[in-house]
Amino acid sequence: MATRETPSAPSWFRIAAFLALVWNAFGVVMFLSAVGAFGDPTAGLSEAERAIAASIPGWIMAAFGIGTFTGVAGSLGLLLRRRWAWPLLLVSLVALLVLETYVVFFSGAAAVSGVAIPVTVVVGALLLVWLARHARKRDWLR
């Protein structure tokens, strides 16, 4: 039985996949910091920021963790040119949409910190889902 050749992915795709992995690894560090893996997560925060941090429900923190860890796995999948990158990045997007919707509309954090970071995170996740879908259509993933 003949094996199908997978077309070579362009250099820009490999660079984008590497940058996606770095971006999502930074997200994991932010998650680990938020859950106290590196010490007190509220150190250096204002009183308003501490109150917001204390009010975040566990299910939102779970969405944060799912979004960041599946983002890393999906980005690694892109870098390795694997077809399973797309569904993982889609799960990451959904989890991050849950997180950022809560942050912007329900937590009060937008009034304190603004919406630039939540919007950037969602746009980045959307772009990665698009990139994975684009790569699948071009047959760059195996």
**What pLDDT digit, counting tens, does each position of 23-55 carry?**
999 999 999 999 999 988 888 888 888 888 889
Comparing CA positions, the residue from 96, 86, 104, 140 lying closest to residue 122 is: 96
Asked, for residue 70, whether it belongs to a domain, the answer is yes
Q: H or E stretch including 129?
A: helix 116-137
Asked, for residue 6, whether it belongs to a domain, the answer is no
> What pLDDT sits at residue 13?
97
Comparing CA positions, the residue from 101, 110, 118, 115 lying closest to residue 30 is: 118
Asked, for residue 1, whether it belongs to a domain, the answer is no
- Domain with 58, as residue range(s), is 11-35+46-137
Mean pLDDT confidence for 65-72: 98
> What pLDDT sits at residue 46?
86
Asked, for residue 15, whether it belongs to a domain, the answer is yes
Q: What CA dihedral angle connects 47, 48, 49 and 50, to 10 degrees?
A: 50
Comparing CA positions, the residue from 99, 80, 102, 93 lying closest to residue 124 is: 93
Asked, for residue 117, whether it belongs to a domain, the answer is yes
Q: H or E stretch including 21?
A: helix 11-34
Residue 133 three-state SS: helix
Mean pLDDT of the chain: 93
Asked if the model's pLDDT at residue 5 lies above 80, the reply is no
Asked, for residue 65, whether it belongs to a domain, the answer is yes
Asked, for residue 142, whether it belongs to a domain, the answer is no
Q: How many domains does the chain have?
A: 1
